[in-house]
């Protein structure tokens, strides 16, 4: 008896089969046109991204990391500034302020949503303010795994303290909160189009969403070396952060599938939740949130249980991933910045540390079949 085919953790081939003819047509058009940087497809994509998100402006850039950097550069964030962000997230969120000379201040996360803990955020802002050595300048809220952070509360905190609210929506394009899609919350939202994202290209790519015309104009300058109205008029220090035309063409082919894919992700997440309840900790949502389900991550009892579940899943042809095995404040690259953020060392981050020992991500993409979802559930329940 042959073993069933392995399940894909992320499946881009099924989607490509649906739109291959349109991809070929779009790519041929780019090749014929010859405008490989900031071509007409980039402008077209920006308009359609803004329309999808319901915001006024979208600016295509070269990656999600560069989107974060351009947004912070536009606010003048740098040396002497404190940027508050969750300790349980991908490294890009923290490396950008450090590259710009600012100090990342790590904040613990909520044990149910995995998003930034507002009470801990307030506590760490107060510590930085009391010491007076760093200026609190920004909060980066991460919509982890596709669940929107508590943006009304983050915006209120930033308004009280005169800080910039930046949405790291890399895993959450298509998600929404209280009827407003991400891109309308905070001063700007940074998107990643890494191939495995909810909207992914076939390389690196990203975008910034904002309702501010002034910020959008500045983002366009900064992504192109700080150029002014002409190519050799340089008004400010910028970077090379442009979106390739070919990647924009790919995204234009994929964007029309988004609504149906978001609905499919939600159905699959519901099946997982029903099948795994009582065996493992299943993800929670929040009132008014439309989850994008960029990842489906469960909690097991401890690291030993996780290793056992992973081994059982592998034997059943079910891939898993660990996002993330180590909190950012334990990463060598951030150790010095973390230790020096507050005199005497900052408070501990117990929830972030706990999650890194228990988190486990299961296959999540819109083209999982009912049979594949059942196989995943059976493999996890058998070992949990």
236 confidence band (pLDDT: 50, 70, 90): confident
The DSSP annotation for 220-271 comes to HHHTBTTB-SSTT-B-S---B-BPBHHHHHHHHHHGGGHHHHHHHHHHHHHH
Per-residue confidence (pLDDT) for residue 229, from 0 to 100: 77
Per-residue confidence (pLDDT) for residue 2, from 0 to 100: 58
Q: Which domains does the chain have, with CATH numbers?
A: 13-255 (3.40.640.10), 257-383 (3.90.1150.10)
pLDDT at 1 over 60: no
Per-residue confidence (pLDDT) for residue 233, from 0 to 100: 82
Nearest to 8 by CA among 268, 260, 203, 307: 268
Per-residue confidence (pLDDT) for residue 231, from 0 to 100: 76
Question: Which is it for strands 81-86 and 135-142: parallel, antiparallel or unpaired?
Answer: parallel
Residue 77 near residue 103, CB atoms below 8 Å: no
Measured CA distances, 180 to 51, 148, 263 (Å): 12, 11, 17
Nearest to 291 by CA among 173, 201, 187, 152: 173
Tokens 């149910």 — which residue? 112
pLDDT at 3 over 80: no
- Prediction pTM value: 0.96
What region does 225 belong to: left with phi over 0, alpha with psi -120 to 50, or beta? left
Share of the chain above pLDDT 70, in %: 99
The C-alpha atoms of residue 139 and residue 164 are separated, in whole angstroms, by 6
pLDDT at 344 over 90: no
Q: Per-residue pLDDT tens for 287-332?
A: 999 999 999 999 999 999 999 999 999 999 999 999 999 999 999 9
Average pLDDT in the chain:
96
Per-residue confidence (pLDDT) for residue 285, from 0 to 100: 84
Per-residue confidence (pLDDT) for residue 234, from 0 to 100: 79
Per-residue confidence (pLDDT) for residue 143, from 0 to 100: 98
Share of the chain above pLDDT 90, in %: 92
- Name the β-bridge partners of 164: 138
Tokens 């991809």 — which residue? 23
Q: Per-residue pLDDT tens for 242-276?
A: 999 999 999 999 999 999 999 999 999 999 999 99
- Name the β-bridge partners of 166: 140, 188
The DSSP annotation for 85-112 comes to EESSS-THHHHHHHHTT-EEEEE-B-TT
- Range in 37-51, 170-184, 218-232 the model is least confident about: 218-232
The C-alpha atoms of residue 222 and residue 94 are separated, in whole angstroms, by 20
The C-alpha atoms of residue 186 and residue 50 are separated, in whole angstroms, by 15
């Amino acid at each position: 008896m042959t073993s069933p085919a392995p399940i894909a953790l992320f499946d881009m081939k099924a989607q490509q089969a649906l739109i291959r003819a349109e991809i070929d047509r779009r790519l041929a058009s780019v090749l014929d046109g010859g405008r490989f940087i900031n071509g007409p497809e980039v402008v077209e994509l920006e308009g359609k991204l803004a329309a999808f998100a319901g915001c006024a402006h979208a600016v295509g850039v070269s990656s999600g990391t560069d989107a974060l950097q351009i947004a912070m550069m536009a606010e003048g964030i740098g040396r002497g500034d404190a940027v508050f962000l969750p300790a349980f997230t991908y490294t890009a969120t923290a490396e950008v302020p450090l590259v710009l000379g600012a100090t990342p201040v790590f904040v613990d996360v909520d044990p149910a949503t995995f998003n930034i803990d507002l009470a801990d955020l307030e506590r760490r802002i107060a510590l930085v303010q009391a010491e007076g050595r760093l200026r609190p300048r920004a909060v980066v809220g991460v919509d982890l795994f596709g669940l929107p952070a508590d943006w009304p509360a983050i915006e209120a905190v930033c308004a009280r303290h005169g800080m910039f609210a930046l949405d790291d929506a890399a895993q959450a394009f298509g998600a929404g909160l209280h009827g407003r899609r991400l891109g309308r919350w905070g001063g700007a939202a940074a998107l990643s189009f890494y191939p495995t994202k909810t909207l992914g290209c076939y390389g690196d790519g990203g975008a910034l969403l904002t309702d501010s015309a002034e910020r959008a104009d500045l983002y366009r300058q900064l992504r192109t070396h700080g150029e002014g109205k002409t190519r050799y008029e340089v008004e400010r220090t910028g970077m090379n952060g442009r979106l390739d035309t070919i990647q924009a063409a790919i995204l234009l082919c994929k964007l029309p599938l988004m609504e149906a894919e978001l609905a499919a992700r939600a159905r699959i997440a519901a099946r997982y939740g029903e099948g795994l309840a009582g065996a493992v900790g299943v993800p929670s949502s929040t009132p008014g949130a439309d989850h994008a389900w960029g990842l489906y991550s469960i909690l097991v009892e401890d690291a030993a249980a996780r290793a056992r579940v992973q081994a059982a899943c592998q034997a059943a042809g079910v891939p898993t991933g660990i996002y993330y095995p180590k909190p950012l404040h334990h990463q060598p690259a951030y150790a010095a910045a973390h230790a020096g953020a507050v005199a005497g060392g900052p408070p501990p981050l117990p929830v972030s540390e706990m999650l890194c020992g228990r988190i486990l991500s299961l296959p999540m993409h819109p083209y999982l079949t009912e049979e594949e979802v059942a196989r995943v559930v059976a493999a996890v329940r058998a070992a949990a």
